[in-house]
A and B are shown apart, each in its own frame.
Chain A
Amino acid sequence: MSTLTYVEALREGMVLEMRRDPKIFLAGEDVGLFGGCFGQTQGMYEEFGPKRVIDTPISETAILGLATGAACAGLRPIVELMFIDFVGVAMDELFNQAAKMRYMFGGKAKVPFVARMPAGAGFSAAAQHSQSLEAWLAHIPGIKVVMPYSPADAKGLMISAIRDDNPVVYIETKTIYGIKGEVPDGEYLTPIGKAAVVKPGSDVTLISWGAMVGTCLSAAEELAKAGKQAEVVDLRTITPFDADTVLESVKKTGRAVIVHEAVRTCGFGAEVAATIVEKGFDSLNAPVIRVTAPDTPVPFTPPLEKEYIPSVEKVVKAAQGLF
């Protein structure tokens, strides 16, 4: 066990896998000597050299196309989009090509790559560098979407994503790059498609993913002070969605609050809520509630951005409203 930051942990996942398998390479904008915009790939160019840690031109379409073509031809690429917001210019490569090849080709293609995409608000990076687009990507059959919160899962999901034979979008939430946690040494895999109960409780289930898991954990502490025991579920993987863990928790607590930083309408919270209502209606003692960003672009100025991102207070208030 080592204490690592989130960003160190996800990097360790990449490094260990690249040492293991020479068919893995890393490509993206400024991932080489520069070490990534947030230092995610620091030291990797030095260790693996320019053949395997490759700076690309500013060509997101070509980056995701590179991953798709190279994966079809036998490699296991890791590619980075500097911000998830840039996926818009390369969406076709992801959703019409990589995601659909296996199905369209009758199961005869394998497209194993990881596309890393930093997401999230909190830096006054404004509307084009702060979004949480996991629901967009979750709407695409044929890819998997993971969004770890803890440093251990940042490493464990990275290794699982690299070993997966499908395109996996690995969403890293920028605001938690610096959080520290205990991370198992050596080979450590977090299974894709498996949520985790990160704090047990009996009165209400707080369901979240990415940085908002931290907000839910803080909210659970506040609720405990008021005598309500919240259970916190970290989805970890968006798709395939682990409905069982969520339903089991709601069965126990009878109440569910879903918290995400993405905008409200058609956010992944809607899918979680629908699943709870469809399959766990009898467990419910109160309506399923969502705490989300509003349906607006991400604002720039700190007071507005603070208002935009779901806060501990809003989560606590929403949960208390269910009793």
Chain B
Amino acid sequence: MDIDKKILVGMLDNMLRIRAFEQKAKELFAGGKIPGFVHLYAGEEAVASGVCANLNDKDFITSTHRGHGHLIAKGGQLNEMMAELFGKSGGYCKGKGGSMHIASVDLGILGANGIVGAGQPIATGAAFATKYLNTDAIAVCFFGDGASNRGTFHESLNLASAWKLPVVFVCENNLYGISNRQTDAMNIVDISDRAKSYGIPGVTVDGNDVLAVYEAAKEAVARARKGDGPSLIECKTWRHHGHFEGDSSVYKKKDEQTSWMSKDPIPRYEKKLLELGVLNATELAALRDKVDADLASAIDFADRSPYPNVSEVLTDVLA
């Protein structure tokens, strides 16, 4: 394997952080600490981690309502993220955005987004700016299978391909748009087939195999940086939980859930790294302990952070 050890371990670290964050978010939501909606990324960690391992701070991403994973993988800090979920002033958005709108423009994170498919034209615009300014930064747009049915998908991929913009469209196909099965919503199996109509590369990868995601993203990112234009990567994956917390998942078939849970990306990847000797069991345990400790301090940070002053309701409307 010719991937740097730091990258290999870094991807696992991100996956563990995301999983732990989501597990805690689930518990805290159930316990009434987190208001509003929470959409958990658990099960899809390989996608954000594998893609973002190819990015740097200058690159942009747009995320989705299921955005915690993208943010962590792009360098978002657990403290500010957890505080935002709590609606506290120490959060990335001072508590004004919440889970669905966490952003850190400084880290190139142009926001989680409550509107399905809305990140596609924004990522395209950010990619236009990097090209216009002659930087080698690129943009990555994360979106789901449902979002690939929106008009934004067509307009964005068409514009990005016509103008050869440095953007990578990453479709996280978890097979359901809330309760709507992909097979009921479109007449194709592989969403990557849609790339053909824009004259750009489209690949489908196992989205629960972080190395497969990493390799596909590496190629697409390199192509974008070289100025050869956009690509579409479809990552087939599975969300372990409901669409949002509180969703009964009545629409998921039992055997489907069982089969996908056996393909959980984290144990798979841990096993691989242990087999390859990249990590030993002690190092893995240490990594997990560190993640748990960081999570505990993030929750503590969020707990201690005050709510914003009520006068904040009127600020930040206009620059």
A142 and B317: CB pair below 8 A?
yes
Chain A residues with Cβ below 8 Å from B106 are 108
Q: Decide if A16 is an interface residue (CB 8 Å cutoff).
A: no
Give bound CA distance, A74 to B97, whole Å: 22
A101 and B129: CB pair below 8 A?
no
Q: Decide if A144 is an interface residue (CB 8 Å cutoff).
A: yes
Q: Decide if A141 is an interface residue (CB 8 Å cutoff).
A: yes
Chain A residues with Cβ below 8 Å from B139 are 69, 73
B319 and A166: CB pair below 8 A?
yes
Of chain B, the residue at the smallest CB distance from A97 is B118
Give bound CA distance, A210 to B233, whole Å: 48
Give bound CA distance, A108 to B111, whole Å: 11
- Distance of B309 from chain A, by nearest CB (Å): 13
Interface size class of A (residues with CB under 8 A): 35 or more
Contacting B at CB under 8 A, from A76-134, are 77, 89, 92-93, 96-97, 101-112
B88-96, B204-212, B279-287: which one contacts chain A?
B88-96
Give bound CA distance, A92 to B116, whole Å: 11
Given contacts A66-B121, A69-B121, A104-B111, contact A59 B158 (CB under 8 A): yes
B319 and A72: CB pair below 8 A?
no
Of chain B, the residue at the smallest CB distance from A59 is B155
Contacting A at CB under 8 A, from B132-176, are 132-133, 139, 151-152, 155-156, 158-159, 162
Q: Decide if B75 is an interface residue (CB 8 Å cutoff).
A: no
Given contacts A101-B111, A104-B111, contact A61 B155 (CB under 8 A): yes
B158 and A73: CB pair below 8 A?
no
A102 and B105: CB pair below 8 A?
no
Chain B residues with Cβ below 8 Å from A164 are 319
A104 and B319: CB pair below 8 A?
no
Mark interface residues in B99-136 (1 if CB within 8 Å of A CB, else 0).
00101111000110111001011111111111011000
Given contacts A105-B101, A109-B105, A142-B318, contact A68 B129 (CB under 8 A): no
Chain A residues with Cβ below 8 Å from B130 are 73
- 8 Å CB contact of B123 from A69, A75, A89: A69
A69 and B115: CB pair below 8 A?
no
Of chain A, the residue at the smallest CB distance from B95 is A106
Q: Decide if B184 is an interface residue (CB 8 Å cutoff).
A: no
B127 and A69: CB pair below 8 A?
yes
- Distance of A73 from chain B, by nearest CB (Å): 3
A105 and B156: CB pair below 8 A?
no
- Distance of A307 from chain B, by nearest CB (Å): 36
Given contacts A75-B133, A105-B105, contact A59 B319 (CB under 8 A): no
Chain B residues with Cβ below 8 Å from A103 are 96, 316-317
Of chain A, the residue at the smallest CB distance from B106 is A108
- Distance of A161 from chain B, by nearest CB (Å): 13
Chain B residues with Cβ below 8 Å from A96 are 114-115, 118
Chain A residues with Cβ below 8 Å from B127 are 69
A67 and B125: CB pair below 8 A?
yes
- 8 Å CB contact of A102 from B60, B114, B316: B316
Give bound CA distance, A72 to B124, whole Å: 11
Give bound CA distance, A75 to B137, whole Å: 14
Q: Decide if A20 is an interface residue (CB 8 Å cutoff).
A: no
Give bound CA distance, A227 to B319, whole Å: 46
- Distance of B158 from chain A, by nearest CB (Å): 6
18 contacts between A and B (CB under 8 A): A62-B159, A65-B124, A68-B125, A69-B110, A69-B121, A69-B127, A72-B60, A72-B105, A73-B133, A74-B129, A93-B121, A104-B101, A104-B111, A106-B91, A106-B316, A108-B105, A109-B105, A164-B319
7 nearest A-B residue pairs (beta carbon): A65-B121, A69-B125, A73-B129, A107-B316, A106-B94, A106-B93, A165-B319
Residue positions of A touching B, CB distance < 8 A: 23, 25, 51, 56-57, 59, 61-62, 64-75, 77, 89, 92-93, 96-97, 101-112, 141-142, 144, 164-166
Apart from the given pairs A96-B118, A105-B105, 19 other A-B contacts in the complex at a CB distance below 8 Å: A23-B133, A56-B159, A59-B158, A61-B152, A62-B159, A66-B159, A67-B125, A69-B62, A69-B124, A69-B128, A71-B125, A72-B126, A73-B130, A89-B151, A93-B122, A96-B114, A109-B103, A142-B318, A164-B319
